Amino acid sequence: MRVVFFGTPEFAVPSLEALLGEGFDVVAVVTQPDKPQGRSRSTAVPPPVKLAAEAEGVPVLQPARPTEAEFVAQVRALAPDVGVVVAYGHILKPDLLALPHRGMINVHPSLLPELRGAAPVEWAILNGLEKTGVTIMLMDAELDSGPILHQIPHHIDPEVTGGELSEHLSEMGAQALVEALALLETDGLKARPQDHARASYAPKLTRETARIPWGEPAERVARVIRGLDPKPGAWTELDGHEVKLFRARVVEDRGDAPPGEARTTDDELRITTGRGAVAVAEVQPAGRARMPAADWVRGRGVRTGQRFT
């Protein structure tokens, strides 16, 4: 089975490595162009998937946009049996979706039709879900609405961060993808349509999504901090300066302090919420590296009675 693989970030790498490890014929990897970095923008940093492909001698294509006629012709010339898409970062148009005769398959980190969209891992935590998983689906022209080929559920640990859950689901997705393609190769897999009436959505994360809602109950505040750890990072302001907070847990607080008030000791930072409080283990003040909250407190970065807003 000839496979064209579309993917970009590190969370797509396990799926590519799983396909190669199981002997699938990956004829090309499609990823985004190298990103210029540094002050002069003179250093080009390749996507993680490109590095993984080159290490295995797999050809790499990096179109600026996958709608370019030249790129579509390149994929057509590869005569793929199936396409695999794992966090590629671009919407694929119908003419490209139609090229593999067995279809274009997507690995999506939720139990579709729940959490269609750009940020299903983060929203699973933000929404307080107890269960998520991975879905292998046939892509169509709509957003994450194609027929389902295979699903694996996963219980969400109550203390897990967005980064930890993403990493775990990427490994699960690789397993589910290999299982689905093996069955597809022997015609042992039947697609089933999604129940569109049950669909929910996980929109792109915005700066406002990441602002910590101190007036909400502590459980909600902790989920925002955990769900957006490490990226983009839940943020707040202290004396007009931005601070990102990480590793929050709910703690009891019977005081009558207003939401957002700091309670500090030498080894802990607690912050009141609309109901209860959270203890924060790590912080990142503006312009500085992430650090233990206790070090920030001892360095007088925050004092008892100051308010986060």
Q: Is residue 304 part of a domain?
A: no
Kindly report, residue by residue over 122-161, the tens digit of the pLDDT. Answer: 999 999 999 999 999 999 989 999 999 999 999 999 999 9
Model pTM score: 0.94
Identity at 292, one-letter amino acid code:
P
Sign of the alpha-carbon dihedral angle for 201, 161, 159, 281: negative
Q: DSSP for the chain?
A: -EEEEEE-SGGGHHHHHHHHHTT-EEEEEE-PPPEEESTTS-EEE--HHHHHHHHTT--EE--SSTT-HHHHHHHHHH--SEEEEES-SSPPPHHHHTSSTT-EEEEESS-TTTTBSS-HHHHHHHTT-SEEEEEEEE--SSSS-SPEEEEEEEEPPTT--HHHHHHHHHHHHHHHHHHHHHHHHTT----B---GGG--B-PPP-TTTTB--TTSBHHHHHHHHHHTTTTT-EEEEETTEEEEEEEEEEE---S-PPTTBEEEETTEEEEE-SBSEEEEEEEEETTS--EEHHHHHHTTSS-TT-BB-
The answer to whether residues 187 and 230 belong to one domain is: no
The answer to whether residues 248 and 182 belong to one domain is: no
| Confidence at residue 155, expressed as pLDDT on a 0 to 100 scale | 98
The answer to whether residues 180 and 222 belong to one domain is: no
The answer to whether residues 165 and 30 belong to one domain is: yes
Domain boundary among 198, 228, 255: 198
Pairwise pLDDT comparison (277 vs 266), residue with the higher score: 277
Q: Please, what is the average pLDDT of the chain?
A: 95
- Could you list the residue range(s) of the whole structural domain that residue 225 is in? 218-298
Is residue 52 over pLDDT 90?
yes
CATH number for 120: 3.40.50.170
Domain boundary among 169, 198, 227: 198
Q: Is residue 205 part of a domain?
A: no
| Confidence at residue 254, expressed as pLDDT on a 0 to 100 scale | 75
Identity at 54, one-letter amino acid code:
E
Kindly report, residue by residue over 91-106, the tens digit of the pLDDT. Answer: 999 999 999 999 999 9
Kindly report, residue by residue over 53-87, the tens digit of the pLDDT. Answer: 999 999 999 999 999 999 999 999 999 999 999 99
Q: Is residue 137 part of a domain?
A: yes
Query: Percent of the chain beyond pLDDT 70?
Result: 100
- Banded pLDDT at 186 (limits 50, 70, 90): confident
Domain boundary among 146, 168, 198: 198
The answer to whether residues 262 and 114 belong to one domain is: no
Is residue 266 over pLDDT 80?
no
The answer to whether residues 151 and 268 belong to one domain is: no
Q: Is residue 213 part of a domain?
A: no
Residue 2, Cβ neighbours under 10 Å: how many?
A: 17
Cα 177 from Cα 166, distance rounded (Å): 16
Residue 46, Cβ neighbours under 10 Å: how many?
A: 16
Q: Is residue 308 part of a domain?
A: no
Domain count, the chain: 2
- Banded pLDDT at 16 (limits 50, 70, 90): very high
With contact defined as beta carbons under 8 Å apart, do 187 and 181 qualify? no
- Cβ partners under 8 Å of residue 74, min gap 6: 28, 61
The answer to whether residues 17 and 48 belong to one domain is: yes
Q: Is residue 223 part of a domain?
A: yes
The answer to whether residues 147 and 224 belong to one domain is: no
Q: What are the tokens at 196?
A: 């569109």
Closest CA to 259 of 206, 211, 212, 207: 212
Query: Percent of the chain beyond pLDDT 90?
Result: 91
The answer to whether residues 132 and 16 belong to one domain is: yes
Kindly report, residue by residue over 188-237, the tens digit of the pLDDT. Answer: 889 999 999 999 999 999 999 999 999 999 999 999 999 999 999 999 99
CATH number for 241: 3.10.25.10
The answer to whether residues 180 and 237 belong to one domain is: no
The answer to whether residues 160 and 245 belong to one domain is: no
Q: Is the peptide bond before 193 cis (omega within 30 degrees of 0)?
A: no
Q: Buried b vs exposed e over 110-124: b needs ≥16 C-beta within 10 Å?
A: bbbbbbbbebbbbbb
Q: Is residue 126 part of a domain?
A: yes
The full length of the chain comes to 309
Residues 167-189 have a mean pLDDT of 94
The answer to whether residues 87 and 231 belong to one domain is: no
Q: Is residue 231 part of a domain?
A: yes
